[in-house]
Amino acid sequence: MAEKLKVATTSLAGCFGCHMSFLDIDERLLALCEVAEFDRSPLTDIKHCSEQVDIGLIEGGLCNAENVHTLREFRNHCKILVAVGACAINGGIPAMRNHIRLEECLEEAYLDGVGVVNPHIPNDPELPLLLNKVHPIHEVVTVDYFLPGCPPSADVFWKFLTDLASGREPQLPYDLVHYD
């Protein structure tokens, strides 16, 4: 039997909606597991990529230093890197903070916002530093494929992965392409 495709996934500045949508392929997951196995992913709780991963799926854009670090690890280990969803492709909803100064965002969230108790901007050294702006991942690494949508539907994941698994160039029909 041919070796299974290694698939890694991660969520950067995303909401996990893309991962949930991926899981919406439901019982097709069983068929997928015949030809693919999960490597680093929140689904396996494996913390780092194997040396050689075939497909890396990235949900979310870049909002902090750790996101950039994780993205680089994926790029270094994944033969094919895929930007999944609006956030990874163009920053998406988190990028709506881009025209507001970072300081103001933090003040609003942790000091002055409605209902804030114990006003204090988190400063634990374990916390990754925020970037001034949220960026799409193609601004930092080369991306091989893009799956638009917020989130892309389960059928998008299915079509894309089955195309790749059977050696076809992935193609999304009109009905599966949407930016929202």
Which residues form the interface with other proteins (CB under 8 A)?
A: 83, 86, 89-93, 95-96, 98-99, 133, 135-136, 138-139, 143, 145-148, 150, 172, 174, 177-180
Sequence letter at residue 141: V
Pick the closer one to ligand SF4 by CB: 75 or 151. Answer: 151
State residue 122 phi and psi, 5-degree precision: -55, 130
The interface partner of residue 177, options being ligand SF4, other proteins, none and the CB cut-off 5 to 8 Å by kind, is other proteins
**Token digits for 156?**
């998008």
Complex with other proteins: residue 49 or 152, whichever CB lies closer = 152
Q: How far apart are CA 173 and CA 22, in angstroms?
A: 18
Tell me the closest approach of the beta carbon of residue 17 to ligand SF4, in angstroms: 3
Give the pair of three-digit tokens for residue 8: 């890694």
Binding mask 121-160 for ligand SF4 (x = CB under 6 A): -----------------------------xx---------
3-state SS assignment for residue 64: strand
How many other CB atoms are found less than 10 A from the CB of residue 20?
A: 12
